Amino acid sequence: MHMADALISPVVGGTMWAVTAGLTVYSARKLKGNLDDGKAPLMGVLGAFIFAAQMINFTIPATGSSGHLGGGMILAILMGPYAAFLTMASILTVQALFFADGGLLALGCNIFNLGFFPCFLVYPFIYEKIVGDQPTPRGILTGSMVSGILALQMGAFCVVLETVFSGISELPFGTFVLLMQPIHLAIGIVEGFVTAAVVTFVWKARPEVLETAVVPKPLGWAAMKNVLVGLLAVAVLTGAVFSWFASANPDGLEWSMARTSGKEELESPEHGVHSLLAGLQEKTAFLPDYSFKEKGNEGPAEAEKAKAEGESRQEEPWPSVSAGTSVSGLIGGLLTMFVAGLIGFGLRRFYHKG
């Protein structure tokens, strides 16, 4: 559900950048007093884990589409809404800057769509009400399923609204929304099962992690070591190996666009803000589309144009064993862990001095 710049206008993109910036500052301030030796590393490791998990698209049967984990609910349940939102912002920023996954103009939209709804709406008002103060395996499963579905439904609907407000005539509201919501319902079901599995693993290993997401109290590095090592090991395996098994089918957003407009990707304006940011992204994205740059490939803008002209990913072999994909998974996870962890340690140091 990563939006490209071609889907939004500069006004909508700028507005959502401002909204996201406000939420980022708000989250940073709310974390005061809730950062310790365990929370900051958890932000980094969970960021790396979600980055790697988002690389794996799973096929949605009988649709010709695929989906990938959003991860917002996992972050919110394990760390609380504020650390979760900052971690999601770190993941999506790394993806956009260094892997050309999602546009720079659309970055504010993507952070809002994938971060705001699970962290600030679904987690406190849905998940917590279902699971309560005493988690059980059944409660975690039920809460994760309902929350995962609702968070993705809200995010998908917001994507539709952002394209409508941007005046994208190729994606009329009625047709687009009738395709986006059902396909993301199917993706949300998978999201719910994965969320329940990850949360249950952490809950059984360290139940206090879930408690600190609700009521701030120190975790400590020693208490978190086994959980962090386990999550980091899964992140490494996922990014380096399991990513080869990602579905070649278009994701839910691309699938919906193709059936609405006839194209999985729309062309961006050749001048103005879109062109400026596309040029910037070409310079920063050293592993565009999670692979090595091919000889003669000038960057992500050309890759998107090739897709729009009808080059089919269905011809790619599966599993797609690729050194470029493995390197992308490892470097991306490392960068995300560094950025999210740096935010956590930086805020802790800042508030400790204050």
Decide if pLDDT at 309 tops 80: no
- Tell me, what's the pLDDT at 35? 72
**Residue 126's closest CA among 141, 145, 144, 147?**
147
Mean pLDDT calculated for residue range 177-191: 98
Tokens representing residue 228 in the block:
């962090």
Rounded to an integer, what distance in angstroms lies between the CA atom of residue 183 and that of residue 58?
A: 12
Burial of 325 by CB count in 10 Å (0-12 exposed, 13-18 middle, 19+ buried)? buried
Mean pLDDT calculated for residue range 314-341: 90
Tokens representing residue 202 in the block:
């952490």
Band the pLDDT of 307: cuts 50, 70, 90. Answer: very low
Reported pTM: 0.92
Decide if pLDDT at 179 tops 80: yes
Burial of 152 by CB count in 10 Å (0-12 exposed, 13-18 middle, 19+ buried)? buried
Q: Quote the mean pLDDT of the chain.
A: 90
Give residue-wise pLDDT tens across range 263-298: 999 998 888 999 999 999 999 999 999 999 876 545
Geometric angle at alpha carbon 217, from 215 and 220, rounded to 5°: 140
**Which DSSP letter does residue 251 get?**
B
Beta strands (DSSP E) in the chain are 58-60, 65-67
**Among all chains, which residue has been given the structure tokens 């978190």?**
224
Mean pLDDT calculated for residue range 9-25: 98
Decide if pLDDT at 343 tops 70: yes
- Tell me, what's the pLDDT at 316? 65
Give residue-wise pLDDT tens across range 22-53: 999 999 999 876 676 678 899 999 999 999 99
Question: How many angstroms separate the Cα of 240 from the Cα of each of 12, 108, 192, 245?
Answer: 36, 28, 24, 11
Decide if pLDDT at 313 tops 50: no
3 state SS of 60: strand
Q: Where are the domains of the chain?
A: 5-353
- Tell me, what's the pLDDT at 221? 59
Rounded to an integer, what distance in angstroms lies between the CA atom of residue 149 and that of residue 186?
A: 8
DSSP string, 66-90: EE----HHHHHHHH-HHHHHHHHHH
- Tell me, what's the pLDDT at 312? 45
Band the pLDDT of 216: cuts 50, 70, 90. Answer: low
Rounded to an integer, what distance in angstroms lies between the CA atom of residue 209 and that of residue 165?
A: 40
Q: Which CATH architecture has domain 5-353?
A: Orthogonal Bundle (1.10)
Give residue-wise pLDDT tens across range 51-78: 999 999 999 999 999 999 999 999 999 9
Decide if pLDDT at 302 tops 90: no
Higher pLDDT, 35 or 239: 239
Question: What is the identity of the amino acid at 178?
Answer: L
- Tell me, what's the pLDDT at 150? 98
Give residue-wise pLDDT tens across range 130-165: 999 889 999 999 999 999 999 999 999 999 999 999
CA dihedral of 196, 200, 206, 208, whole degrees rounded to 10: 60
Burial of 342 by CB count in 10 Å (0-12 exposed, 13-18 middle, 19+ buried)? middle
Share above pLDDT 90 across residues of the chain, in percent, rounded to a whole number: 75
Mean pLDDT calculated for residue range 285-313: 64
Tokens representing residue 82 in the block:
């504020």
Decide if pLDDT at 304 tops 90: no
- Tell me, what's the pLDDT at 25? 96
- Tell me, what's the pLDDT at 310? 42
Q: Which helix (H) or strand (E) holds 302?
A: helix 300-308
Decide if pLDDT at 354 tops 60: no
Higher pLDDT, 93 or 208: 93
- Tell me, what's the pLDDT at 85? 98
